[in-house]
Amino acid sequence: MEASESHQEQSIQGSVRAIGNRLVVEHLEVEDERAARVVRERVENGHEPPATVRDAIEIGARVLEREGTAAEVDYVKAEFGRHATELAQSLVKSIETGNELLSEEIAKSFGADRQGTVQQQIKEMLDQAALGQREAISKQFSATDGTNPLSDFKDAVVRALKEADSNRSQQDEANRKRIETLTREIVELKARDEADRRVAEAEDAGTRKGRSFEERVAAAIETIAGARGDAATAVGDDAGTGGSKKGDVVVEIGAADGPSLGRIAFEVKDSQLTKPKAWSEMNGAMKARDAGFAVLVVGGEEKIPSGQQELHEYEGNKLIVAVEPEEPEGRSLELAYRYARCRLLVSREAELTVDAAGVRVAASEARALLEEARTIKSALTTARNSVDKARTGVEGMVAALIERLERIESLVSAAADAEPAP
């Protein structure tokens, strides 16, 4: 006994190992008054200390395994009640076993089968005492007050479970708030990304649209120029004289077959300009591209500069024409092209051996017809009831205009062919 107590007083750093379904505890000291008292009391009732410690570990493991839920409190209470009952039964059994042994010893000496004897009275007294002990032990271990030897331990476990549940609830609430914050930030980021993407797409679409319109107009001009031996070049991305990029398409008259007889600068816009801005663009295009005539091509009649007229010659070297944005290849663009071409060729009449009077007359007639065609086209826009009649008049005027333009081109071409090579 002294060796055991001496061993208990030592402070030993033990080791615990989990091997498969077994738990091996070596030289482990547990300093707990209640646990030591329970072991001692069970030893006094005939229970081995290892069995008591094993029961305590199993009960504690079940408690730890199930912490975090409110229902575990009831489970722990029931589990402790069950084990307390088993402990009580074990104690009662020990007592009964002792009583039986005592009765047997008494019976050997006094004869237990005899009624009314001292032996029988002692046995009845022992039975009543055992019954009373059983009832007292059962009440003690089922009590919820301080008389229950496991009451403090049970209360401590319950408090620990409640604290763990409270901490877990607080942590869950904190995690929920963090998740809500992160979710809100992610939604805001996605919204900003979506807005940025839409803005980028809109800007890209606008760029593509403007560039596509310019490319379509350039292709239509190239087709018209190719049919007349002229050379058309898209130069919107190239800097011209003075570093300016004004002038999107340059046409060099006659350059497909020989030296250039003059240049026309086409400025293409898919937006409405003011008159000062339009004049600045056309003058800048002529200067940057060394051209003698400028044509402003806009995408639709609503894009014509305010107060200005389509197919009307301004200052002897400017013209505005409206085309369909998706299909610029139309009669309006061709008329503007051919008129500008003829005006440049007429300006060179002094340099050519040509019927100057005939050219001037044809040019004058072409200009008058162009003005008349513009007037009729304007009337078509404002007077829908006479569309058919006006269209017939326009077509007649256009046909006459084309005839005059062809006369000019023929006269100039004949004069150019007759000139000796330089």
pLDDT digits (tens, 9 = 90+) for 237-273: 888 888 888 999 999 999 988 888 899 999 999 999 9
**Position with higher pLDDT, 70 vs 61:** 61
Q: How confident is the model at residue 208 (pLDDT cuts 50, 70, 90)?
A: very low
Question: β-strand 15-19 against 263-269: which pairing, if any?
Answer: unpaired
The domain spans of the chain are 2-149, 209-418
* Residue 339: closest CA among 317, 355, 307: 317
How much of the chain, in percent, has pLDDT values that exceed 90?
Answer: 21
For the cut 90, the answer to whether the pLDDT of residue 295 exceeds it is yes
Instruction: State whether the Cα torsion 35-39-45-48 is positive or negative.
Output: positive
Rounded to whole angstroms, what are the CA distances from 405 to 25, 128, 408?
115, 141, 5
For the cut 80, the answer to whether the pLDDT of residue 221 exceeds it is yes
pLDDT at 2: 44
In this structure, what token pair is assigned to residue 353?
A: 């051996």
Rounded to whole angstroms, what are the CA distances from 53 to 85, 99, 344?
17, 27, 116
**Position with higher pLDDT, 304 vs 359:** 304
Alpha helices per DSSP H over 13-70: 33-44, 49-65
Q: Compute φ and ψ for 320, nearest 5 degrees.
A: -120, 135
How many other CB atoms sit within 10 Å of the CB of residue 53? Answer: 17
Task: Please say whether the beta carbons of 332 and 295 come within 8 A.
Answer: no
352: which DSSP letter?
A: S
Rounded to an integer, what is the distance from CA 130 to the centroid of its chain? 78
SS3 content of the chain, % helix, strand, coil (to 5): 65, 10, 25
Whole-prediction pTM: 0.43
For the cut 70, the answer to whether the pLDDT of residue 12 exceeds it is no
pLDDT tens, position by position, 319-369: 999 999 998 988 889 989 998 998 888 877 555 555 555 655 665 666 666
pLDDT at 7: 40
Q: Cα(320)–Cα(341) distance, rounded to whole angstroms?
A: 14
For the cut 70, the answer to whether the pLDDT of residue 286 exceeds it is yes
In this structure, what token pair is assigned to residue 191?
A: 């919204």
The packing angle between helices 49-65 and 71-110, to 10°, is 160
